Amino acid sequence: MGKNRETGETGLNAGERMKRYWAHNWQLWLMLLPGIIYIFVFCYVPMYGVQLAFRDYSFTSGITGGKWEGFKYFRQYFESPMFIPTLRNTFIIALTSIVVGFPAPIILAMIINQIRNTKWKKIVQTTVYIPYFISVVVLVSMINILFANDSGVVGNFLKAIHLVGQDINILGKESAFVPLYVLTGVWQSMGWNSIIFIAALSSVDTQLYDACKIDGANRWQTMWNIDFPAILPTIMILLILNMGNILNVGFDKVFLMQNSLNLGASQVISTYVYTVGIKSSQFSFGAAVGLFNTAINFVFLLLTNYLSKKATGTGLM
């Protein structure tokens, strides 16, 4: 892979170039080898399963032997009246999650980084990442209890400070589903996701702070001019990865938060596939929708990667 691109020197024959290449790079290849082998065995070998999206499943003849159906199962999804609604709902949830949820841990990391009181800093830092360990099932039970009409403490608090209209049933309002889903998601993962930024901030060269001090910059300016650029590459990489995950709106939480009233906003691709397969597993249909999902995700990843490389010089590949 890429061997031929190596070394711009001319006048050497291929064998010799190879030799030089290996002399220089064999250690790097060796360091990559375990990972490459693992990925090959556990990810590439099973990949023949992808063709199931184009075939009928047949147990006797295996994945590779079922009847070739071409794009039948893709068409089944595209032509379904639920295609547009599920795609739309998925996009809305995912985009809102990124717009609101992506900056949150960055800001949190910056704030934590600025806390001067060491004890308080430790307390905050340790507390914010605990929600990550709460299972989705419990999270949703808590949402249902804390936001219940009339009896929910948090719901009532939000109504008392007029953030939410008095007669709105937060759990049952279609328009409240996305904010509720996204904000509880931010609550749960903000602290956990901030860890990587906090770590990145810790690697900022401290001499830069001193230099900035001497220039008379205040803390805000220091943060903006030194901290932020220092973690920008990390931010960009994570943004790319997030964009590449855009259609993977987690099944569990949406499914558990679904109720008849919010179905108009909460029926997403993964819950729809589940509904289709609930009585008899529709392997090929699921595989086709999954592949469609993946393809869209991949396009988003490549696109964001390209834009990021152009704008900031940071990219995955």
Q: Which two tokens stand for residue 7?
A: 């070394």
What angle, 0 to 180 degrees and rounded to 10, lies between the N-to-C axes of helices 283-312 and 269-277? Answer: 170
Number of residues that bind another protein (CB under 8 A): 162
Residue 269: closest CA among 280, 260, 285: 285
8 A C-beta contact, residue 232 and residue 79: no
Which segment (11-19, 119-127, 158-166) binds another protein by CB under 8 A? 119-127
Least distance from C-beta 159 to another protein, angstroms? 14
User: If you search the block for the tokens 């009847």, which residue do you land on?
Assistant: 67
User: Would you call 221 helix, strand, or coil by DSSP?
Assistant: helix
- Taking CB under 8 A as the rule, does residue 92 contact another protein? no
- Taking CB under 8 A as the rule, does residue 133 contact another protein? yes
Return the number of the residue (87 or 101) whose C-beta is nearest another protein.
101
In the window 205-264, what residues touch another protein (CB under 8 A)? 206, 209-210, 213-214, 216, 218-220, 233-234, 237-238, 241-242, 244-245, 248-251, 255-256, 258-261, 263-264
Distance between CA atoms of residues 254 and 270, nearest Å = 9
What x-and-dash track marks residues 24-43 binding another protein by CB under 8 A? Answer: -x-xxx-xx-xxx-xx-xxx
Return the number of the residue (16 or 48) whose C-beta is nearest another protein.
48
- CA dihedral 267→273→277→282, nearest 10 degrees, is 160
Residue 56: closest CA among 288, 287, 284: 284
Least distance from C-beta 15 to another protein, angstroms? 18
Return the number of the residue (142 or 303) whose C-beta is nearest another protein.
142
Q: Which of 92, 158, 307, 316 binds another protein (CB under 8 A)?
A: 316
Exposure b/e, 12-48, CB count within 10 A at least 16 = b: eeeeebeeebeeeeeeeeeeeeeeeeeeeeeeeeeee
Which segment (12-20, 158-166, 272-280) binds another protein by CB under 8 A? 272-280
Which segment (11-19, 129-137, 158-166) binds another protein by CB under 8 A? 129-137
In the window 46-85, what residues touch another protein (CB under 8 A)? 46-50, 52-53, 56-65, 76, 80-82, 85
User: If you search the block for the tokens 């250690």, which residue do you land on?
Assistant: 27
- Taking CB under 8 A as the rule, does residue 131 contact another protein? yes
